Amino acid sequence: MKIAIISKLWEPTSPNSTGGTGVAIGNLVNGLSDKGHEVTLFATGDSETKAKELVSVREKSFTNDYSEIQEFDNIAGAFKREKDFDIIHSAVEHKSLFFSGIGQTPVLHSIRYGEFFEQEIDILKKYSQENFVGISKAIAKKFNFLNFQGIIYNGLNLDDFPWQEEGQDYLIFLARVSSQKGPHLAIKLAKDLNKKLIIAGKTSDSDKDYLDKHFWPHIDNEQIIYKGEIGFAKKIELLRNAKCLLHPIENIFEAFGMSLIEAQALGTPVVSYDNGSPLEVINQGKTGHIVKNYAEMVEAVKKIDKIKRKDCRQWVEDNFSLEKMVEDYERLYKKIIDK
């Protein structure tokens, strides 16, 4: 198949990306390419995949800048060339819907995010009969008015995730450092339990008030350590050696959670708030714990040593492999093209 894939401009698209969509789409592009499909990727210029062609409207991802014009230019680039492709797969949520129905090439829209403004919901409803794919059952349930053609979990190339039997005695928080992701809760837990905590993730100027009040004052780089935004190799090292990954998503709906399967693939159990997809991504009591509040999170961490790290790895091998994801997308693409 000749496939156009439109990725987000918020991070490079690569299996080694620092963003969840960048990782997931990077893995998909590589997996499809390895199976002989011709993939044209519309993404940032610093994206690294096995795509036959990379088309870019900007060299690097957004940081503290943003351009809606470039987002739409990125999408338009694929639709202008629609005759070159058997299918266009857009992973930019609702924005690609404005281009639907213009050409003849089938289009698949990924819903990879769980928080939309009222006007964005109106657009989703207006174009609800387009072809959609969700990355979790939780997403499909939340937006049950959409014409979902399938649910396909993100997958990992497990060769890049060497698991190990023993972890070290520290906790890790790996996510964007903002109030939505709950780093303040991870810090509070580490202090209450007298545990070492390593925090890794990007910060944004838009979160300055939160960071100045709830984050920076607690960073001593002895017990509470901040590593900043880290690369792939460092991420693997920190995740696989951790006792536990903390994922206290208190104020945001989790559409999937790439860091959850990355940690488990490396043998590291996870503790996450119950807000969206974690019940699908974590095998409750077997590979980690899903909790409803801070008190439950504390108790879950206290008993985390009872989780067998081998079970964490097996769970990902069985449910979130790159091979499974690629095969599922191949079937879905063919289904939509035939229809």
Task: Note the pLDDT tens digit of each residue in 318-334.
Answer: 999 999 999 999 999 99
Angle, CA of 190, 193 and 196, to the nearest 5°: 45
Say if residue 220 is in the same domain as residue 96: no
CB 275 within 8 A of CB 208: no
Question: What does pLDDT average to over the chain?
Answer: 95
Based on its alpha-carbon atoms, the radius of gyration of the chain, rounded to whole angstroms, reads 20
Residues constituting the chain:
339
CB neighbours (10 Å) of residue 219? 15
Tokens representing residue 336 in the block: 């939509």
Please report the pLDDT score of residue 252 as a whole number: 87
Query: Could you tell me if 132 and 199 lie in one domain?
Result: no
- What phi and psi values does residue 179 have, to the nearest 5 degrees? -60, -30
Q: Phi and psi for 149 in degrees, rounded to 5? A: -95, -10
- Dist. CA 47–CA 58, nearest whole Å: 11
Do 294 and 282 form a contact (C-beta atoms < 8 A)? no
Q: Do 98 and 193 belong to one domain?
A: no
Dist. CA 161–CA 236, nearest whole Å: 7
Q: Can you give the pLDDT at residue 106?
A: 97
Helix (H) or strand (E) holding 226: strand 224-226
Q: Are residues 9 and 83 in the same domain?
A: yes
Q: Give the CATH number, domain containing residue 29.
A: 3.40.50.2000
pLDDT(29) > 80? yes
pLDDT-derived band at 309 (thresholds 50, 70, 90) equals: very high
Q: Please compute the mean of the pLDDT values over residues 223-230 and round it to a whole number.
A: 96
What's the confidence (pLDDT) of residue 63?
Answer: 82
Per DSSP, 219 falls in state -
| Residue 145, token pair as written in the block | 């008015």
Return the pLDDT at 130: 97
Predicted local distance difference test score (pLDDT) of residue 208: 93
pLDDT of the residue at 115: 87
What the block records as the tokens of 68 is 């809606």
Instruction: Give residues with Cβ within 8 angstroms of 294, minimum separation 6.
Output: 185, 188, 189, 248
Tens-place pLDDT, residues 266-297: 999 999 999 999 999 999 999 999 999 999 99
Q: Among 266, 265, 272, 310, which residue's Cα sits nearest to residue 288?
A: 272
Residues 127 and 216 in one domain: no
Predicted confidence band of residue 136 (pLDDT cuts 50, 70, 90): very high
Give the pLDDT confidence of 62-100 residue by residue, as tens digits: 987 889 999 999 999 999 999 999 999 999 989 999 998
Range(s) of the domain holding residue 145: 2-155+321-338
Which pLDDT value is given to residue 20? 86
Task: Give, to the nearest 10 degrees, the angle between helix 258-265 and helix 232-241.
Answer: 60
Q: CA torsion angle for 196, 161, 28, 18 (degrees, to 10)?
A: 30
Do 59 and 20 have their domain in common?
yes
User: How far is it, in rounded angstroms, from Cα 43 to Cα 75?
Assistant: 9
Amino acid 44 reads T
Angle of CA points 150, 153, 157, to nearest 5°: 135
| Contact present, 64 and 75 (Cβ < 8 Å) | no
Q: Residue 114: what pLDDT?
A: 86
* Number of compact structural domains in the chain: 2
- pLDDT-based confidence at 336, cuts 50/70/90? very high
Q: In terms of domains, do 18 and 143 share one?
A: yes
Q: Are residues 314 and 180 in the same domain?
A: yes
pLDDT at position 152 over 80: yes
* One domain for residues 287 and 188: yes
Same domain, 149 and 14: yes
Q: Determine if residue 283 is left, alpha or beta; phi over 0 gives left, psi from -120 to 50 gives alpha, anything else beta.
A: beta
- Check whether residue 25 and residue 116 sit in a common domain: yes
**3 state SS of 140:** helix
pLDDT of residue 101: 83
Residue 243 pLDDT: 97
What is the pLDDT, as a whole number, of residue 286? Answer: 98
Residues 110 and 14 in one domain: yes
Share of the chain above pLDDT 90, in %: 91
Is pLDDT at 308 greater than 90 in this prediction? yes
